[in-house]
Amino acid sequence: MPKKVLLAIDSFKGSLSSLEVETMVEKGIRKTCPDAMITKIPVADGGEGTVDAIVAGCQGSYEKVRVLDPLGRPIEAKYGIISGNIAVMEMAMASGITLLASDELNPMLTSTYGTGQMIADALDRGADEIYIGVGGSATNDGGMGMAMALGVRFLDKEGQELLPKAESLAKIETIDISYLHPKLQETRIRILSDVKNPLCGPEGASYIYGRQKGADEAMIEELDQALRHFAELVEKQLGKDYIDTPGAGAAGGLGYGLLVFTQAEMKSGIDVVLDLIKLDDHIKDQDLIVTGEGRMDNQTAFGKTPVGVSMAGKRHGVPTVAVVGSIALDTEAVYDKGISLVLDIVHQPMTLEQAITNAKPLVENAGKTIGRLLRDWTYIQ
């Protein structure tokens, strides 16, 4: 009897999309187990590929909108619309680090304004709910730019409106929400993230993520102090205290800004995505699940795609194999979460650049190994 296998693999960041990884795994499986019955479902956990995964899984559509990139340049971004008038978006489409060249990275100057423009567009189109993935940001503005695009005014001590970027945070004296987009009061926003960092402090947005966005040590301290000033004003003037809320530090504090200025709540990205695409319905009657991600380490066990998928498989008694770009030594926790086997695509010494360049044939080779497993195992009654 042909074996049934479900592919639900996250993207290999900076290399292959979720669907591209799954396509190469399928190609490899078919070379060694031609009669396998394969189903592909793109998945993501709130980061790169989330919109595409949800739109594909829910038979949704896309909307395109002109927004400003992290440095204020016009670009075209897209977000998805699925049934129930729900908008799904990734902040990285408008405010992501991949939109900038390496010599343009400077979290003092970058802004989430474009993300706010995407949200405003969805509101104007009548969205009743908005899901927003907050991974991959180039920003550290506490959501100030996003809030300004939605009508909030930030004024300095002279009463002049400030520019929407992190270097303005320390200059804020007044927060005026009287022009906040009216539909925000009736629209539920779900923040998709596995980040638990608070807004400020040693574990906050600036100290943990500032370096990868271009900040040096002095800038990190300055950014942290500016975010703290911002949060203190918010508490004093708006009566809202989210500075220590887990996830407030996501996307350079965008999580905080969404909590303060919208009707937002934090959600596990992978749980929401898997629920929306109804993964459990696809798992029934499968013989094997294949999941994976670009880099697997012990953090994978805490809210990442492979474990979200494997736990669903575990509920239905279906074993899970993970295909990964690389694997750390400290991965024991994933085996307690339903993953039976991890296949690292790097089968000989090579540089990261070589692995990325050859990702497709390497992933296909892992698929051939899975095909042999499918072909040769026998059920024992």
Which tokens hold the place of 68?
Answer: 């400003």
Domain with CATH 3.90.1510.10 in the chain: 50-270
Measured in whole angstroms, the distance separating CA 162 from the mean position of its chain's CA atoms is: 29
pLDDT tens for 272-319 read 999 999 999 999 889 999 999 988 876 776 678 899 999 999 999 999
* H/E run at residue 90: strand 86-90
Residue 70 burial class via C-beta count within 10 angstroms: exposed 0-12, middle 13-18, buried 19 and up: buried
Residues 2-8 have a mean pLDDT of: 94
At the topology level, CATH places domain 4-43+278-376 in Rossmann fold (3.40.50)
Q: What is the pTM of this model?
A: 0.88
Q: Residue 120: which pLDDT band, with cuts at 50, 70 and 90?
A: very high
What does CATH list as the number for 50-270? 3.90.1510.10
pLDDT tens for 192-221 read 987 899 999 999 999 999 999 999 999 999
Is the pLDDT assigned to residue 242 strictly greater than 60?
A: yes
Is the pLDDT assigned to residue 116 strictly greater than 70?
A: yes
CB 116 within 8 A of CB 147: yes
pLDDT tens for 86-103 read 999 999 999 999 999 999
Domain with CATH 3.40.50.10350 in the chain: 4-43+278-376
